[in-house]
Chains A and B, each alone.
Chain A
Amino acid sequence: MDEAHISHGFRSKRQTQAKDRVPPGQYVTADFPILSAGPTPQIKVSDWKLALQLGGSLLGVWTWEAFEALPQTTIKTDIHCVTKWSKLDTTWQGVTFDDLLKAVGLSGPPEPYVMAHCGGGYTTNIPLADLIGGKGMVATHYDGLPIAPAHGGPARLLVPHLYFWKSAKWLRRIRLMPTDERGFWESLGYHNYGDPWKEQRYDGD
């Protein structure tokens, strides 16, 4: 369709949204809706470990205590869910990918792609370039408090410039890959990259 069909009688009930902050097709909410494919895993921090994997070898494994001892960064950012809501000015604390790579002695990206493996069998794929340079982190705190299980605690990815399904909940293992592979939603009809500003919601967008 070249031109949108006008729905007569339909009008905006919302206050004017800042176009430079809200991507096309999104609306701002003050809530923090929850969306996931299955039950919420209840993961104790005493059982939690995060692994960084390159090919067949483990570059690093952190317990909760060791992970909390890594350099901490706080980010204030807007988030955009593919289900159309956006939330402005959310505050997250965690470890940036730059610091994570540094912690295992890497000065640059060893492979171009990442697969995030999570509780519940969930996976998502992201180019490593979208995680370094301060763009992505493993977040452990939201708004000053530990992230609740329903929101992905103890630890989730945070890649705020992509649709929020890429910010995978219940992160357990980060696998560096030489070639791109599709994750869970990416194999089920959602876009492989997911740029909200280009409205890359579904495959083919």
Chain B
Amino acid sequence: MTVIDTSALAERLEWQLAQVRDIVAETHRVKSFMLEPVNWTGHLPGQHIDIRLTAEDGYQAQRSYSIASPPEDKLLTVTVERVTDGEVSPYLLDELRVGDRLELRGPIARHFVWTSGSSGSLCLLAGGTGITPLMAMLRHRDRSSCRTPTVLIYSARSRGDIVYQNELDGMARNDTNLRVVYTLTREKAKDWAGHRGRVDRTLLATNCFPPAQNPAIYVCGPTAFVESASDFLVELGFDSLSIKTERFGPSGG
């Protein structure tokens, strides 16, 4: 495992203000926020930021959100799903308006990151809004005209829950090296021609690159999705050390 030690250069990631420049309703429970921080030094696809909210009585709450935008974009995008009974996500989804400002700091963590300079093929597995950091990777791949053979396997509850579908389909249409595979776990509609059900061994064996190719694998989603998908990958013979995971805990929000 390659670890770059930049500890000697460590500077504190300061809280800073960012202005909301645009808000996009992605699905009935997901919105994207395009933010303009005062001072952004850039990020790697897959990194996250912390957002801090302060109430008038001084109460503070912090949450981590993956960055969905690539380093090439001027604005920083986070895509937020409503957490039922949550504290931060309902505020972001219901109260925050274009022109408002909020506090953030980042970019954070350098494990779950991919850049177009990496060699080998790329396999991305998303469960629900776990697509967010993977979208930053796909957008970065697209903006840098990188043609790394890539497959995205994206599990969502229903068609209406797929975030970024138009953009993903558009990217795949223009690029024979990118394949996007959807599977829907709760879709009832008969005219859905794609996969149904949870990500399983067969779906992975059929759609991933073979283990002998040793693709770089990134798995992001709710804990149960990440646990089962990464277990299947290990059973199929993929090297554990080539599988990077990021889990959304069941709590938070």
Q: Which residues of A contact B (CB under 8 A)?
A: 1, 4-14, 24-25, 27, 29-31, 33-41, 83-85, 120-121, 150, 182, 184-190, 192, 202-205
Q: How far is the CB of B247 from chain A (nearest CB, A)?
A: 6
B185 contacts A by Cβ under 8 Å:
no
Inter-subunit contact B230/A8 (CB<8 Å): no
Q: How far is the CB of B156 from chain A (nearest CB, A)?
A: 21
Our pick among B4, B16, B234, B251 for the contact of A85 (Cβ within 8 Å) is: B251
The answer to whether residues A84 and B54 also contact, given A1-B17, A5-B102, A39-B243 and a CB cut-off of 8 A, is no
Q: Which residues of B contact A (CB under 8 A)?
A: 1, 3-7, 10-17, 52-57, 59-64, 85, 87, 91, 95, 100-103, 108-112, 223, 227, 230-231, 233-234, 240-241, 243-245, 247, 249-252
Inter-subunit contact A150/B7 (CB<8 Å): no
Our pick among A4, A192, A202 for the contact of B54 (Cβ within 8 Å) is: A4
Least CB separation from A87: chain B residue: B251
Inter-subunit contact A33/B251 (CB<8 Å): yes
Inter-subunit contact B91/A39 (CB<8 Å): no
Contacts of B230 in A (CB 8 A): 38-40
Our pick among A6, A184, A192 for the contact of B56 (Cβ within 8 Å) is: A6
Contacts of B91 in A (CB 8 A): 7, 9-10
Inter-subunit contact A25/B227 (CB<8 Å): no
Our pick among B17, B85, B249 for the contact of A83 (Cβ within 8 Å) is: B249
Inter-subunit contact A1/B15 (CB<8 Å): yes
The answer to whether residues A12 and B110 also contact, given A35-B247, A40-B227, A203-B7 and a CB cut-off of 8 A, is no
Inter-subunit contact A11/B55 (CB<8 Å): yes
Inter-subunit contact A39/B62 (CB<8 Å): no
Least CB separation from B15: chain A residue: A1
The answer to whether residues A190 and B53 also contact, given A11-B59, A33-B250 and a CB cut-off of 8 A, is no
CA distance A185 to B111 in the complex (A): 8
The answer to whether residues A120 and B7 also contact, given A33-B223, A39-B231 and a CB cut-off of 8 A, is no
Inter-subunit contact B231/A187 (CB<8 Å): no
The answer to whether residues A41 and B240 also contact, given A5-B54, A34-B247, A186-B7 and a CB cut-off of 8 A, is yes
Our pick among B11, B63, B112 for the contact of A204 (Cβ within 8 Å) is: B11
12 A-B residue pairs with Cβ-Cβ distance under 8 Å, sorted by A, are A9-B95, A12-B61, A31-B251, A34-B223, A36-B247, A38-B230, A39-B234, A83-B252, A182-B7, A188-B3, A203-B12, A205-B12
Contacts of A35 in B (CB 8 A): 247, 249
